[in-house]
Amino acid sequence: MRPAASIDEVGAFRHLSEMSRSLLAHGLRYVRFPKKTPVLKKGQRVSGTYVVVSGNLRVFTLSPDGNEATLYLINPGETCVLVLNCIFNDLLYPAWVEAGPATQVAVIPGAIYRTLFESESAIRDMTVQAFSTLVFRLMAELEEIHSYKLEQRLTHLLLLYTSAAMKIFNNSLSILQLMSICAQILIRNPISHHVVK
């Protein structure tokens, strides 16, 4: 059985200076979350940065009628830009986060992460990449919403995630689960077809 994932498997943390490694070791903790476990809730004070080392985290919001809307997923090696924004600007968390299957997260206290950000170029690069990746995803999503009909967006989603699921899981059960998720999206959002032209 493969040993548990660690922060050392995340590129930005592989080549830290000895001083930074020592600082990180003093505050770093690992947390395992079973699937669907709430990790953060809207309005919560954030004490540190969450770096996913295995599994994933789903960041979502709730519509006024109580429907969940996924904002983005945080995959292994990634951190949450909303958490980063909170620790750098002393803000409350603006969404909800739940764990995917077999998720382990490295939690780095905010003060330590800010110190690493100042002293380690790899941490600055990871932080900037997290923000730029989210901005790119947001722009692509906005383009898709404004340029494509619902059926075209669903087809694109199926192709994108089915391809990824086949690479990762390589079994038909995962594809069926993905198709089930897409069907649930359509059931929950029947009005979207009339709104998006």
Do 130 and 71 lie in one domain? The reply is yes
Same-domain status, 90 and 138: yes
Pairing of strands 48-54, 38-40: unpaired
Cα–Cα separations (whole angstroms), residue 123 to 14, 68, 170: 10, 32, 33
Q: For residue 184, tell me if it sits in a domain.
A: yes
> Residues 42, 26: one domain?
yes
- Please check whether residue 2 lies inside any domain of the structure: no
Residue 1 lies in a domain: no
CATH of the domain at 128: 2.60.120.10
Alpha-carbon torsion (104, 34, 129, 131), positive or negative: negative
pLDDT score of 108: 96
Given this model, what pLDDT does residue 197 score? 38
- Say whether both 193 and 122 belong to one domain: no
Residues 6+ apart with CB under 8 A from 195: none
* pLDDT recorded at residue 144: 66
**Structural domain harbouring 191:** 148-197
Provide the phi-psi class of 36: left if phi over 0, else alpha when psi is between -120 and 50, else beta. left
Q: Sign of dihedral through CA atoms 138, 159, 96, 122?
A: negative
Are residue 137 and residue 166 in the same domain, yes or no?
Answer: no
Domain count, the chain: 2
**45/111 same-domain check:** yes
Indicate if 137 and 169 belong to the same structural domain: no
Q: What is the spatial distance between Cα 21 and Cα 197, in angstroms, rounded to a whole number?
A: 53
pLDDT tens for the chain, 197 residues long, are 343 478 887 888 988 999 999 999 989 999 999 999 999 999 999 999 999 999 999 999 988 888 898 888 999 989 999 999 999 999 999 999 999 999 999 999 999 999 999 999 999 888 888 888 777 777 777 776 677 777 776 776 677 666 555 554 544 455 556 666 666 665 665 544 444 43
Q: What angle do CA 194, 196, 197 make, to 5 degrees?
A: 95
pTM recorded for the entire structure: 0.68
